[in-house]
Structure formats: C-alpha cells, structure tokens
Structure 1
Amino acid sequence: MRQLNYIKVFIFLSVVTVVTVGLYFAAADWLDQRYYRFLIWNLFLAWIPFVFSFISYGFSASKWRAAPWLAVASGLLWLLFFPNASYIVTDLVHLTARSSTYFAGNGLDYKYWYDLIVLLMFVWTGLLLGFLSMYQLQEVIYRKMGNVASWVFVLAGCALGSYGVLLGRVYRLNSWDALTNRDTLFNLMLESISRPSLAFCLFFGVFIFTIYVTLYYLVNAKSTYKK
C-alpha cells in the first residue's frame, strides 16, 4: 500500500476543517441560524482518532524500547474514539427533525439548502478524518504483519465502529463512558443485542467499509500516464 506523507495530510485536514467551520459561521451570520453549533464539537471529537493514529504511527517507527507498547496503547485509544468520526453522518437526522421549519408557501425554504451544505461538509470532513486515521494504522499493521492482517484490522474497525455509532446515536453513550461509566455501558450493550441493532450495524458497517475501500483504491491506483 502507498505510504502517505502524514504531515501534509494533517495540514490538508486542518485546512478542510477551517473551511468547514467557516461555512458554518458564514451561514450563522447571514441567516442568524446557529442551531447546528453542536457540529463543531462533533468535528472536534472526529479529530481525536486521527490524533491517536498519528501518535501510534510515530511510535511504530521509533527505536525506543517502550515505543511498541505506546503504539499499541494509542491504537486502542484510536479504536475507542474512531466511531466519533463517522457518527457525524447520523447528524443528518436533524434535517428531518427540523423539516417543519424548512417549508415555506412555495416549497422548501432556501435555508434548507444552506443547512444541507453545512451538514454535508461536516460529514465529509469527519469521514476523511476517520478513514485517513484508519489508513494510517492499516499501514502500520501492513508493515508489521502483512496485507491480510491489515485488512482484518479494517474489517474489524468498520464493524466495531458501526457498533460504536449505534451506542452513541441510539443509546446516547459517549466514548469516555467505556472508562468512566462501565456498568451503564455493559447494561446497554446487553440491551442492544437485537435484530434491529444487528441490521443497523450491518448496514452502517457496509456503508463505511465501502467508502473506505473506495478511498483506498483511489489512493493506491497506479497511473498509466507516461512522461
């Protein structure tokens, strides 16, 4: 798999984040529409898995004796916060929840399109953060354990990530509940064992896996152009 320059990736994602947040504030100032301010916090949470994957990637290349253990610890923290990156997709539900405010006498009010664009920008940025963080760790596993193990990691990450989104959206849990509220987490995990939950995880898991594979292919596709 192609090795990326993650310093440049970090800068690029920072620029995309600034543009995304800037669009929100532009719409908020022009339309006096600040309902979606919570998206800024959700985008901050989406940055956390990328930060942990960045740290894990750095430790994986270090010769320091404790570096492998720190890389594993950072990777586990990445897994804990990875669902936050794709969770933003479910924030599209707010367009439905607020549908009554978007309809004017002649159909959809123009504010709907502003809000849709802002939401999609946050969704896109969150997905980029999540998938580039996964790519970063897949690269580490690819170097250490081979191609098959790296794709097992991707499949497991998508499956556990979709389950994390279920716990966050349906059961209103946060990533840090795994550290601070384990009894409630365990009880809700037992409650979540059902056919609808399985269907949600299956559909959402296929959704994020398909997008990841698409981005993976685009990054690793070989050019046929000859100078």
Structure 2
Amino acid sequence: MARKRCVLRWGAAVGLYWAACAAHVWRTGGLLALGLAWNMLLALLPLCFACAAGRCRLWAGRAALAVLWLLFLPNTFYMLTDLIHTPQKMEWVNAADWTVRHSENVSDWLLTLLLGTGAVLAVLLGLEAMRVFRVYCCVHWPRPAVWAGGGAVLLLCGFGMYIGRFLRLNSWDILHPLALLRRV
C-alpha cells in the first residue's frame, strides 16, 4: 500500500506539472511545454516500473520490469538537458551605468520556471525510482553489489542522456537494435 501511495503522490506532482505545461501552451501558443509534459510522463515511468517489479511474483515479469526501468530511467535525468531551452536575454548589464537589467517578458520567466521545476521534479522522480529499486534489490543481492550496480546505472544514465540530447535517440529506439547500435 505504501508503494501505491508513493506513486499516487508523485503522480499528483506530475499532474500539477502537466497543468502548468497546458497553461503555458494556452497562454503563449508555444509548443515547447508539450514536449516538457511528454518528457515528464517518460520520467514518471521508471518509478512505476520499479514499484511494479517489487510487487510482481513471476521472475520473468520482474526481469522485464527491471529492463524497462533501466531503459526509461535516463529520461528522468534527461530533463536537466531541457534547460538549454531557457530564453537567452533574461538578464544583462547596461554598459552605460553598469546596472543589471532583467527581462520584462513574463512568458520568458514562466518558461524558465517551468523548465527549472521540470528538471528538479524529474531528477527527484529518478532518485525515487532508484531508491525503490535499490530497496527491492537489497533483498536479493548483497549491499556492495547493489551500490556498485547503482553507480553503473548512473553512468548508463549519463550515456543515455548523451544519446538522447546529441544523437536524438529515444527509449523506443531499442525496438530497432541494429539501427541503434550503428548510430551509437
């Protein structure tokens, strides 16, 4: 029951973020927030997979959920890279009197707030998904192995972020493994 409440709480936070994304699209007409909402859905999935793996009774089901957890986990940390969409001219120094000026464009500030909130929420989702999975793994494996595995998972997440941002590949590209390997 505690896992279900955990997912519901995080789901509520993601729902509020989606509402903020929808409000931003409605207010500005820009579609970037739709991409942010999609990325947040992908960031919620690893937590769902980790909780489901802990409840699954079949070994094959747990293994499949663990693979899905690992494939989707980089999406949580990937949202940090969405910060590149932060508007450029938010602050500048006036050369004449060296005063700092700030943008008066409310939409730019709201987008910056949306990007930052999304990045923090997604990273927290990723850390929670790792915590839930670690608790599950500690039951079956020795602690040093679990901690070493956690470090390896974080390295894989970093590689996944690179693949997503710079090679522009997605989690579902695993469905075409040969093309994926050629590209990587």
Normalised by the size of structure 1, how large is the TM-score? 0.70
For 2:84 and 2:6, how far apart are their aligned partners in 1?
Answer: 30
Indicate whether 1:41 and 2:41 are aligned: no
1:73 aligned to 30, 49, 64, which one? 64
For 1:33 and 1:177, how far apart are their aligned partners in 2?
Answer: 27
Change (3 A) 1:30 1:174: closer
| 8 Å CA contact retained: 2:71, 2:171 | yes
Between Structure 1 and Structure 2, how many residues are aligned?
176
For 1:103 and 1:22, how far apart are their aligned partners in 2?
Answer: 28
Write the mapping of 1:48-197 to structure 2, written as runs, cut at 5 A. Answer: 48-59=45-56, 62=57, 67-95=58-86, 98-99=87-88, 107-108=102-103, 109-180=105-176, 182-189=177-184
Q: Partner amino acid for 1:185?
A: L
Percent same amino acid among aligned pairs?
24
For 1:178 and 1:30, how far apart are their aligned partners in 2?
Answer: 36
In the alignment, structure 1 segments of 5+ residues that lack a partner are 190-227
In the alignment, structure 2 segments of 5+ residues that lack a partner are 95-100
Match of residue 97 from structure 2: none
SS at structure 1 position matched to 2:171 = coil
For 2:44 and 2:113, how far apart are their aligned partners in 1?
Answer: 20
18-27 or 129-138: bigger deviation = 18-27
Change (3 A) 1:52 1:119: same
Indicate the RMSD between aligned Cα atoms, in angstroms: 2.3
Normalised by the size of structure 2, how large is the TM-score? 0.85
In the TM superposition, what is the alpha-carbon distance from 1:128 to its structure 2 partner? 2.2
In the TM superposition, what is the alpha-carbon distance from 1:35 to its structure 2 partner? 3.3
